[in-house]
Amino acid sequence: MTPTLDQDDVSRLVKALWRLDALQKQSAREFYLTRVRKELGIDLPVRRGENDLQELWIMVEACLEHPGAFHAFLKVVGGFHAGSTTFDAVRQLGYALVPEPLLEPGERRAMHDHLKRLQNADAGALRPEIVKDLFWAVADPLGSVTFETGDIWPVLDALEDFNVGEDGVPPLLKFVERLAVERGGPVRNRLLDWVEHAAGRLGVAHVMLEQRERAARLRERPRMYLVIAFRPDGVTPDEYLISAWLQSEDGHGVMLRCEDDRPMPVTELPSLVVELLTEEPQVVNRPPMSELTLEFVLPLNLLGMQSLDQLRITVDGLERRLGIEHPVVVRSLDRIQKQNYHPAWRRKWTWLRDNPHNAEVCLMTQPGKYLGESLYNMLLSDPASVCLALAFPPHGDGASAPDELRVALQAGAPVIAWCRSGRTPERFSAEFQDLMSHGVLALPDSVLALRREAVASHGGQPSADHLGLQLTLLFDDADRFPEPRGRLEAPA
């Protein structure tokens, strides 16, 4: 399903090919077409025309409609016109107008053969609803499609022509791999071998391996998220409308409460957290092996001020800091609500997710060192700069001129950390680099370990100067939107 050329470009191709004497003869065209069908392993349908020129035009259009067919046609014709300057001009024009196919002919034939075997062995494996779900799992839902997304064959053709994502992996390979794992049955291993071979030739095998390993880790110890969002009441100062969700790693979840009718002050938060952790059935009965992270979605006036990891909760008479119980992170309500912030945020998060070992930290040890535009440009233009670490706290009210935190939110940085009490440049740089030993994506767990270390130090009397008691971590997963209009369901 090569992108359709306009009629002017098709006319240029046909006129260039017509200059080859052989293609003006029906017998030669039939011979070439037979070789193309054999090369592709498909029955390429071509209807007859009223004259030789029209038949050549019909043949070219038929080849343009099937992935790889036009380039296979050039290869066959070129085999009989070696050294021809006329054919060299045809080939240059063809490669300029028609992108090279993703797959080689043998790869495409093998993929089709494996799927035909699967279809013969299990007719239900390729049911339209299954194919449709798999297609939309790997395709960006942008624009409209002109084919039936439940029909496996046009889906394969379309995916071969789709642009690759930021991870560099073609959607077709993702589709075949998911199909193999979820529905492959007797040909599962053959399909996976096919994916590995194609990924190796295309240079993305290491990326797919990392994605597989990450998915396997999630299956072993799934992570759940207790998300608590604060929205300014707008009527009562210093009171907030509180909503809470329990989400899984893939973003699906249930709303636990939506207190739109009863604003509450931040001082009531400890009792609410205890109630959610110990009494809410959805939280208490979550999978026993799952890891639970607490996320607080805050407006700017709370984001730079609150130390929610140090929130003290009491359960059955035992008081402790919330930050040693579970990973505790904050998220930006303003960024979630402002659609114009989302493109940069998604790009940064996607890059981090797919390149975790290459992520870089932008370390700032004193406020105002870079002007707003300079810092914005620095973060925006470097895909690897996904984390901003500040040795000082951001502005408290969010109402003054844009500071480093607000600039980083606009530039899309998904991870921002800051020391609430301030730190000398040398000390903060050394401490944060140690914290980064397991990478940016591991920061919630690394910070949890640091907070536990702080409490364990000095015989249970932690030093107030320990970074574990002073660090706020903003960790904004752009794949999970904690809001009712996201992929959330009401409680059962």
412 sits in the region (left: phi over 0; alpha: psi -120 to 50; else beta) called left
Is residue 238 located within the same domain as residue 340?
yes
Closest CA to 302 of 251, 241, 249, 352: 241
- Record the tokens describing residue 314, joined without a space: 């009491």
Looking at 192, 219, 246, which one is the last position of a domain?
219
How many other CB atoms sit within 10 Å of the CB of residue 102?
A: 20
Nearby residues of 79 by Cβ (< 8 Å), 6 or more positions away: none
Is residue 228 located within the same domain as residue 207?
no
Residue 124 structural domain: 105-219
Torsion angle of alpha carbons 322, 245, 167, 142, nearest 10°?
Answer: -160
How many other CB atoms sit within 10 Å of the CB of residue 430?
A: 12
Q: Residue 328's beta-bridge partner residues?
A: 294
d(CA 256, CA 227): 9
Instruction: Look at the chain and report how many structural domains it folds into.
Output: 3
Looking at 51, 68, 97, which one is the last position of a domain?
97
Q: Is the dihedral of CA 458, 461, 463, 467 positive or negative?
A: positive
Establish if 483 belongs to a structural domain: no
Establish if 489 belongs to a structural domain: no
Amino acid at 380: L
Is residue 67 located within the same domain as residue 193?
no
Establish if 491 belongs to a structural domain: no
Collapsing DSSP to helix, strand or coil, 288 comes out as coil
Amino acid at 49: G
- What pairing do the DSSP bridges indicate for beta strands 240-248 and 471-475? unpaired
**Which regions of 333-371 does DSSP assign to beta strands (E)?**
360-364
Report field, pTM of the whole predicted structure over 0.75: no
Q: Is 264 exposed, middle or buried (0-12, 13-18, 19+ CB in 10 A)?
A: middle
Q: Is the dihedral of CA 177, 181, 187, 190 positive or negative?
A: positive
Looking at 172, 202, 219, which one is the last position of a domain?
219
**Which regions of 393-485 does DSSP assign to beta strands (E)?**
415-419, 471-475
Collapsing DSSP to helix, strand or coil, 131 comes out as helix
Is residue 229 located within the same domain as residue 210?
no
Q: pLDDT per position in the chain (492 positions), as tens? A: 444 678 888 899 889 999 988 888 888 888 988 888 888 777 777 888 889 899 888 888 888 887 888 888 888 888 888 888 888 988 889 888 888 888 888 888 899 899 999 999 888 889 888 888 888 888 765 445 677 888 898 888 888 888 777 778 899 999 999 999 888 888 999 999 999 999 999 999 988 888 877 766 655 567 899 999 998 887 787 889 999 999 987 667 888 888 767 888 888 888 999 999 999 998 888 877 788 999 999 999 888 777 899 988 888 899 999 999 999 999 999 999 999 999 999 999 999 988 888 889 999 988 888 878 899 999 999 999 999 999 999 886 656 678 899 999 999 999 999 999 878 889 999 999 899 988 899 999 999 999 999 988 755 565 678 999 999 999 999 988 775 444 334 333
